[in-house]
Amino acid sequence: MILYMQQEGRGIGLANKIKAYALQEKGRDTVEANKELGFEADMRDYGVGAQILAALGVKKMRLMTNNPKKIVGLEGYGIQVVGRVPVETEPRPENLRYLVTKCQKLGHLLNLKEKIFREPG
């Protein structure tokens, strides 16, 4: 089963996400930009998704995520996360700062060190 919750821009909405992008172009990272606009680092609500899964009878699951808050949120609704499937791509110069920020400031579980410091060839 796949449940996709469309929560653009970490829950701040598309218009504010565009404003956050403008701040990022001026040097803020994604968390700093959201906070400067008056929002928490991540405004998404995972409770609705957990309630949908519980209503469908899901008791145990493997979760595709890099965000440990989603695991805690699901477990708070009595859904046991028995495995995590990472969602990773090869970092690129254009998104490396963003990915590092997600790890350092949001606690995301990304295996960046191995990918960043891999020897060429």
Q: Which residues are catalytic?
A: 42, 44
Cα distances from 105 to residues 41, 45, 46, 108, 112, in angstroms, run 9, 18, 19, 8, 14
* Amino acid (1-letter code) at residue 37: L
3-state secondary structure of 15: helix
For the chain, the residue count is: 121
Q: How far is Cα 116 from Cα 102, in angstroms, rounded to an integer?
A: 15
